[in-house]
Structure 1
Amino acid sequence: MPHFFSRFACLPAGVFFCCATLVAPDLAIAAKPKPAKAQKSLTIYAAGDIADCRKLPPEESMAAKTAAIINAGLQQDSKAMVLTLGDNTYPVGRPEEFNNCYDATWGKFKSSTLPSPGNHDYGMPQALGYYNYFDELAGPDRRGYYSKTAGNWLILSLNSNRNELPMQEQLNWLREQLATSKRACILAYWHHPVYSSGGHGNNDIMQAAWEMLAAARADIVLTSHDHNYERMAPINGSGERDDKAGIRSFVVGTGGARLTPLFFAKPTTEVRNNTTHGVLKLKLHANSYDWEFLAVDGNSFSDKGHGECH
């Protein structure tokens, strides 16, 4: 009677050990499936309230120091992206502010930048300095909002300077983006924070957008406007802490403009600082993310952590 062994081994001095697997004589052993290729993480650097050269030349400005952090990161990873969170220049977003101050600092990585506009950018009619400078990088039709995808992430750049019908058009667009996206993780960013303990406090202009994002179980929202750094605990659509399904939000108004006072911390405030310029670094993985605040040289403040996508 035939028997079939896949392999055997003979050991020394009368010891015999046989590793046997019974198989049909004509059946090939199936190869083990190869594991799916892991998604490469995407690095993002983000800050708002950036270029102000009214008192110092560009190379001596704080925007040059925050730009140096990003330049160093891009030298290590040329595929990293940069998000601006509005108020790209001061005081009113004139073309010369972009061409002479922003371009000499954060403009060094313009091609890697996904911008969003702030109220100071709209100091010029129709934010012409902002849209003329960033052109197609600012999204289509000078409306100030657009989306990108990266791996398992949907990235949404929104415009918190719209109101009435233009805002409703943006909300309709956002609803469609969220309904049709196949990505499991969502990051959105704009200028005015819905929740903040900074000098400007809460802003309800983007409350409807926040509620849509919360309903879609978005993961991260980045804003600026208040010139400080603040990280909130995850918050749901009603503004309440929700560690399981809420949105983790950051105010990163530390890109270069003068820092400003803080008010009393919110119940959802976890970390805040208004003495340190810097940028937020995010590592977006397939189903999770890491964050780290990177301070300019000479400052020791830091904040880092990890989160999972919903």
Structure 2
Amino acid sequence: MMNLTWDDPRKTENVTESGTDRCSGMNCSSTRYQSGITETTFSKTELAPDSRSRFAVSALDTAVNQSFLSAIDELTTPAVPATQTYTLIGAGDIASAANNSGAESTAKLLDAAVAADSNTIVFTAGDNVHPCGSASEYSTYYDPTWGRHKARTRPSPGNHDYETSGALGYFNYFCPNSANCSFPSGTKPPYYSYDLGNWHLISLNSEQINSSQLTWLQDDLAVHSDSCILAYWHRPRFTSGTGAGSQLDVQPFWDVLYAAKADVVVNGHEHSYERFAKMSASGSADPNGIRQFVVGTAGIVNVGFGSIMPNSEVRLANIQGVIKFSLHNEGYDWTFVPSTSTNLGDSGSDICNK
């Protein structure tokens, strides 16, 4: 906005000009604004972004004699900040020694996403390879499928990864050395975080819930209080699935994330797709709460649903696929992408809680 105020005791008709001849050769336009016979103020609010405007005042008497222009006031408006969309894609319960065709079908969905956006980040929601998460299973079943995108993958572990002591198959596969490591720190943390634009992403470990992890999570969220938050781990707090069911052990994650106004939680463990409405940490409907997705659909044989949990909005059984998020500065879009065109998907959009 530009505000001009002047004093003209003669109260003659005043003219305000924007972009006079004095800026000829500077690629500016000249526009005259008639302000009225007794006015001594002028405001212009609709100024184009990323531009320079010049304003001056002159007096015009009844004989149409115009005074020289006043000193020119100049205003440069800032450019509109560029917005960037980040693609995050993934699921849980991926490769299997029993039948790996599902992992290959969903790996092709990753291929397509990366072809469309070379900056795509892949996440995993645990149980990266069944049944034991061993080094040989990773090299034989995970690596030829989802391992095609290992360099861009930000994983989390599941209970089957811990079937190998200390989840060494998981940690050694994703971070064999500091120069070739899927974890942002270049080390082998059981939990970690990273940023994509205005979004803060958190990979948690539902197999080792302890005070150290919870303290780390609280501290991590405290220094990202203005960010949109998406967290992912393996075991879901809420599910209508008939597999392992709702996992009370992860309640502390929800308590901390809800207090920090987190936006999205993604889990696996149940071999089906389910989306919930926004909820409080106790599972009550809350328009300012967390939206949970259960996406254990990356390759393992699916299971169905039992009693439907409150706030469950979409359920897809007997389906394999991945969830793709488009993360914007102030919100997100989601799309569940099935591996076959005959299956139904799911999509929507929302804004961040902050």
Deviating more after overlay: 118-127 vs 291-300:
291-300
Q: Does 1:171 align with 2:184?
A: no
The answer to whether residue 241 in structure 2 is matched with residue 228 in structure 1 is no
For 1:202, give the aligned amino acid.
S
Indicate whether 1:153 and 2:153 are aligned: no
- In terms of mean alpha carbon deviation, does 199-208 or 72-81 score higher? 199-208
Partner of 2:151: 111
Q: Secondary structure at the match of 2:129?
A: coil
In the TM superposition, residue 31 of structure 1 has moved relative to its aligned partner by 3.7
Secondary structure of 1:206's match? Answer: helix
**1:202 counterpart = 2:215:** no
Tell which has more relative contact order, 1 or 2 (C-alpha 8 A, sep 6+): 1
Q: Which amino acid aligns with 2:269?
A: H
Whether the 8 Å CA contact 1:291–1:305 is kept in 2: the answer is yes
With the length of structure 2 as denominator, give the TM-score of the two structures: 0.78
Residue of 328, 331, 334 corresponding to 1:285: 328
Spell out, residue by residue over 1:78-104, the C-alpha distance to the aligned partner (whole angstroms, 9 max, x if none): 101111000000110011111111000
Q: Does 1:45 align with 2:89?
A: yes
Instruction: Please state whether the residue corresponding to 2:324 is helix, strand or coil.
Output: strand
Residue pair 1:81, 1:112 contacting (<8 A) in 2 also: yes
Indicate the residue corresponding to 1:14 in structure 2. Answer: none
* Cα distance in structure 2, aligned partners of 1:261 and 1:65: 20
Q: Which secondary structure state, in structure 1, belongs to the residue aligned with residue 170 of structure 2?
A: helix
1:19 to 12, 32, 43: 32
- How far residue 201 of structure 1 moved from its aligned partner, in angstroms, is 1.4
After the TM superposition, which of the residue ranges 140-149 and 268-277 deviates more from structure 2? 140-149
Identity %: 39
Q: Contact 1:276 / 1:299 at 8 angstroms: preserved in 2?
A: no
Counterpart among 121, 136, 148 of residue 161 in structure 2: 121
Structure 2 residue identity aligned to 1:69: L
**Equivalent-residue separation in structure 2 for 1:6 and 1:137 (angstroms):** 56
Contact conserved, 2:126 with 2:157, CA < 8 A, in 1?
yes
Q: Give the structure with the larger helix fraction.
A: 1
Q: Which runs of 5+ in 1 are unaligned?
A: 9-17
Instruction: Tell me the residue number matched to 1:15.
Output: none
The structure that is strand-richer by fraction is: 2
Residue 263 (structure 2) aligned to one of 198, 219, 227: 219
Deviation, structure 1 residue 195 = 0.6
* Equivalence map 1:27-106=2 (5 Å): 27-55=71-99, 58=100, 61-106=101-146
Q: 1:255 maps to what in 2? A: 298
Q: Tell me, yes or no, if the aligned pair for 2:330 and 2:352 is still in contact at 8 Å.
A: yes
- The structural deviation recorded for 1:262 is 1.4
Give, in whole Å, the separation in 1 of the partners of 2:78 and 2:162.
53
Deviations 1:242-290 (A, max 9, x none): 02x1100000000001101211111110001111100001001001000
In structure 2, relative to structure 1, the CA distance for the partners of 1:7 and 1:99 (3 Å cut) is: closer
Determine if contact 1:116/1:138 at 8 Å carries over to the other structure: no
SS where residue 137 of structure 1 aligns? coil
User: Hey, what's the Cα distance between the residues in 2 that align with 1:3 and 1:211?
Assistant: 63
C-alpha displacement of 1:210: 0.5
Pair member with larger Rg: 2
Deviations 1:108-154 (A, max 9, x none): 01111000000000000000100010013246664410000111111
Letter of the aligned partner of 1:289 in structure 2?
A: Y
CA distance 1:27–1:143, shift in 2 (3 Å): same
> How far apart in 2 are the matches of 1:219 and 1:241?
14
Amino acid at match of 2:275: R
Please, which of 286, 289, 292 is the counterpart of residue 242 of structure 1?
Answer: 286
Deviation at 1:20, TM superposition (A): 3.7
Task: Give the count of matched residue pairs.
Answer: 293
Q: Secondary structure in 1 aligned to 2:200?
A: strand
**2:190, 2:204 within 8 Å by CA — same for their partners in 1?**
yes
Distance in 2 separating the partners of 1:5 and 1:44? 51
Structure 1 SS opposite 2:221: helix
Query: CA–CA distance in 1 between the matches of 2:194 and 2:335?
Result: 22
Distance in structure 2 (CA, Å) of the matches to 1:48 and 1:119: 11
Residue 134 of structure 1 is matched in structure 2 by 174
Please say if residues 15 and 34 of structure 2, whose CA atoms lie closer than 8 Å, have aligned partners that are also in contact: no
Give the TM-score, by structure 1 length: 0.89
Structure 2 portions without partners, runs of 5+: 1-11, 21-30, 36-55, 58-68, 176-180
